[in-house]
Chain A
Amino acid sequence: MSSQSLASAAGVTRRRGFVTRTDLIGWLFISPWLIGFLVFTAGPFLAALFLSTTTWDVAGAWEEIGLRNYQRMFNGEDEQFAVAVRNTLYFVAFNVPGVQIIALALAALLNQKLHGISIYRTIFYLPAVTSGIATAYLWATILAKFGLLNGMLALIGIEGPTWLYSVEWGMPAIIMYSLWNVGTPMLVYLAALQGVPVHLHEAAMIDGAGIWGRFRHVTVPMITPAIFFNSVLGVIGSFQVFTAAFILTQGGPADATLVYILHLYRSAFLNGKMGYASALAWVLFLAILAVTLVQLAVARLWVYYEAEQPTARGVG
């Protein structure tokens, strides 16, 4: 029996019965994931939407208060909300482009045909598979007043600040720590670089393009899907920055490193205001969704998908 006849048979039976046995087996196969998604993702997701309209604190009595939690954020009642938003945007503004630039530069270096290149690749990828807590503590020692970084600065006559207890330098320190962790985007860029057709570089060379010219006019356009992918994930991840601030500074000093998720965490687990924390979570979700949609819309203007282009035969 051909696959066509099977498909047609399934089509017939789907019309005759409610569901085919094949369908049921398919659903059973995906049911572990589906149940997990419904119970542990979609359920809490929707529950949080409801909770965001309440004063729920887990233990005691609670009441529905409509949009009061949301109003509290935007009418200035929660002063730390504005601080957390500002700090998070600061982090996103520097971290997202910083990660892209460093990851791409590293990927370009690691794309060279050198002896032992796989060892270098492993070394640069290591931070991505190391516990965030462990690397945060490592950076705490690097950024200490008499730590490695200030020791190096001292060699060139600069007295470094107390990075992690400085209103001015706290956030740059956290960004520095985050920029170190570029293993995953680097890997994506490396794969993308290896997918750039050699004949395009050869053609550009024949046309007289130098290294920079080829990088700018051949490599970058060809890897725009990777840049787009990394940017989207980078923005989402940066809005959710938590570990570094939680471990290194606890949001201090003077809220200088109080990021959004840390504020949410404190609202939920320190202040016990689960309803308000749920509202914070939903606002963050909507903000990330909006930014991602903008990224998707703008992507049409600059992301180049070779497969979507009309082929020579198609044009002809």
Chain B
Amino acid sequence: MSATSNVRTIGRRRVIGLALGTIGAGALLAACGGSAPAPTAAPAATKPAAAPTTAPATGGAAAAPTTAPAGGAAAATKPAGTTNAPSAAAPATSKAPVTLRFTTWWAPLERGLKDASDQFKADFPYVTVAPEMVPSADFVPKQEAALVAGTWGDASISDNGTQVKWMAGGYHLDLTDKVKADGINLPQDYSLMGLEIWEGKVLHMPFDNDPRAIYYNKTAFKAAGVKDPWDDLKGKWTINDMVEAAKQLTNVQNGKTTFYGLQWNYNSYQEFSPLVWMLGGNYASWTELKYTLTDPAVAKAHQMLYKWAKEDKFLITVEATNELVGPGGVIPFRAGLTGMYHRAAYDVQLMDDVIKDKFEWDAAPLPDLDANTPGIPVTSGNPNYVPAKTRYPDEAYAWLRHLSSTKFQDFAATNHLYVPSNKKSWKTYQTANTKGKHLESFIRHVYSRRHGFHFYNAGMNAAGTAIRDQIDLVYLDKKKLEDALRDANQKANELVNFGGAKQPFSFTVPKPPVPTAELQALGVL
């Protein structure tokens, strides 16, 4: 046998044929892979890929189509505790099993998710909610990759600092018709932060508000003989009262400050905004859709903060925080290193977890500027949305509607998982299970006054970093305040991005107080 006869040759045609066959087989496998449907211009009409039900509706308990028309047999599946009839479909028990992937970074919700799922299952027994907790630090890049790939699941919390990009890009399911079919009046029933209704379309379901107040170390107050914001001042106090308290609380030993009176994250626009508003200005324009950091009130606010940090030395700086707890270390207030802390309600549960019984803490309202100028607290929100590529648009919407329903929001309020966006649950938050804490600081003392939200746009996080970097230069004495604010304004306005929206907001900030009569009716006052 010759050497050549041992080697089989394959011709060009066969190689090309093999290659084409491989591509074809790959395409076939991909098609069978159960991938989500491509986004459509009208995602609500997208039929779930895994609609497994073909039995006739007349068949008693037999299955009905998974995507029943919005508003179909709505009343039949109305979850207990909701105020409106759901649009999502037919007798729940007649459906084939559905597993909804729900992604969130909202850590305090984790311990309430099982209850939420159980409550939801009572109304939608065929639906299992599979929560996926993503650390907040990873959320933005993970969402970015998965949303584009169409693998971000069926419902998700937003990253409110970048989400506009996805809203504008058509990655959110338009829930307008579903909400309308359910007769839900979002502006009336919820405290909206701005992203829920965007250019007239419902792109999020409301979830929480995250109002700021002043956490304070009651034990330190007592030890220093400082007037307690509640015991002595009855919740009515001014910036001057706070400053005096901070001065008295500050402890200096051998020239080194070992305990600071106040922690107020001055380099974050999210935190310094109340001072700007109280001083009669604004750091952004909700009508012109741009940052206004050159507003004189912004400079005034920072002059005040700078004085507290550098001259009075009771406000802990970033540098001092690094000294005391190291970079990325524990929050100084939680570590018992500051007397007061301007921070959101998000921390209520975390405070208990971290502080335990190391010291007694409470929350006081944002102080008034003076006797004639009420404080204007800031709040925020983290609503949930349905990705346009969800496999189960109706069930995903129903789940989000459940999370915003009075039934679940009352549960969340009772357990202080978050400050409910649903106004009907406000009373519960400030009265239930408070363990003696004045949690009305996050409700009554926020909504009865003018209050603000963040300047939500796709570049909000990036602009926040640019602003922070400039403010830090001031506190490192590397730049003059005026120059830093001018540069911060320029950089922030380069980054501001509303995804082409002309006038997305239905309100300006600060918002007016919720009317007294309404608050009384809600049991908040």
Contact = CB atoms under 8 A, between A and B. Distances in A.
B177 interface: no
B476 interface: yes
A17 B465 contact: no
A18 B162 contact: no
A71 interface: no
A248 B4 CA distance: 65
A1 B1 CA distance: 10
Contacts of B318: 165, 253
Given A8-B3, A60-B165, A270-B461, A21 B10 contact: yes
A248 B327 CA distance: 6
B462 A270 contact: yes
Contacts of A17: 9-11
Contacts of A249: 327
B10 A165 contact: no
Contacts of A217: none
A233 interface: no
Given A58-B144, A270-B461, A18 B11 contact: yes
Contact of B9 (A20, A144, A147, A165): A20
B499 interface: yes
A13 B9 contact: yes
Contacts of A98: none
A79 to B, nearest CB: 9
A245 B500 CA distance: 35
Given A254-B472, A269-B140, A145 B322 contact: yes
A269 B328 CA distance: 20
B465 A266 contact: yes
A21 to B, nearest CB: 5
Contacts of B327: 140, 144, 164-165, 248-250
A146 B495 CA distance: 38
A164 B326 CA distance: 8
Given A59-B169, A272-B165, A145 B3 contact: no
Interface residues of B, number: 46
A272 B162 contact: yes
A9 B326 contact: no
A162 interface: yes
Contact of B144 (A20, A167, A269): A269
B29 interface: no
Interface in A1-53: 1, 5-6, 8-10, 12-13, 16-22, 24
Interface string A247-280: 1111011110000000000100111100000000
Interface string A138-169: 00110111110000000000000010110100
Interface string B156-170: 000000100110110
B63 to A, nearest CB: 36
Given A60-B165, A252-B472, A140 B328 contact: yes
Nearest to B487: A79
Contact of A164 (B3, B322, B462): B322
Contact of A165 (B12, B141, B322, B465): B322
Contacts of A57: 165
A162 B322 contact: yes
Nearest to B462: A271
Nearest to B464: A270
B322 A167 contact: no
A280 to B, nearest CB: 15
Contacts of B383: none
B469 to A, nearest CB: 6
Interface in B14-28: 15
B439 interface: no
B459 A272 contact: yes
Contacts of A248: 327
Given A18-B11, A60-B169, A271 B4 contact: no
B257 to A, nearest CB: 12
Contact of B472 (A10, A253, A271): A253
A140 B326 contact: yes
Contacts of B323: 144-146, 162, 165
Q: Which of A13, A61, A266 has the most CB of B within 10 A?
A: A13
A189 to B, nearest CB: 33
B171 A59 contact: yes
Contacts of A8: 3
B76 interface: no
Interface string B322-343: 1111111100000000000000
Contacts of B140: 269-270
Nearest to B171: A59
Given A59-B168, A254-B473, A272-B462, A6 B326 contact: no
B169 A20 contact: no
B114 interface: no
B111 interface: no
B222 interface: no
B478 interface: yes
Contacts of A20: 7-10
Nearest to A272: B165
B459 to A, nearest CB: 7
A209 B181 CA distance: 94
B6 interface: yes
Given A165-B318, A165-B319, A59 B8 contact: no
Nearest to B322: A165
A109 to B, nearest CB: 32
B148 interface: yes
A253 B476 contact: yes
B469 A13 contact: no
A247 B171 CA distance: 31
B7 A13 contact: yes
Contacts of B469: 252, 254-255
B258 to A, nearest CB: 11
B74 interface: no
Nearest to A254: B473
Given A140-B328, A167-B476, A272-B165, A21 B9 contact: yes
B3 A60 contact: no
B245 interface: no
Nearest to B145: A58
> Which interface residue of B141, B162, B168, B322 has the most chain A CB atoms within 10 A?
B322
Contacts of A145: 322-324, 326
Nearest to A267: B462
Interface string A106-148: 0000000000000000000000000000000100110111110
Contacts of A147: 326
A9 B328 contact: no
B169 A9 contact: no
Nearest to A80: B469
12 contacts: A18-B9, A20-B9, A58-B144, A59-B147, A137-B328, A162-B322, A165-B322, A249-B327, A253-B476, A254-B472, A269-B141, A272-B497
Given A248-B327, A253-B318, A269-B144, 10 more contacts: A18-B15, A19-B9, A22-B7, A58-B148, A164-B322, A165-B318, A165-B327, A167-B476, A254-B472, A272-B462
Interface of B: 2-4, 6-12, 15, 140-141, 144, 147-148, 162, 165-166, 168-169, 171, 318-319, 322-329, 458-459, 461-462, 465, 469, 472-473, 476, 478, 495, 497, 499-500
The 4 closest A-B pairs by CB, nearest first: A17-B9, A59-B169, A9-B3, A145-B323
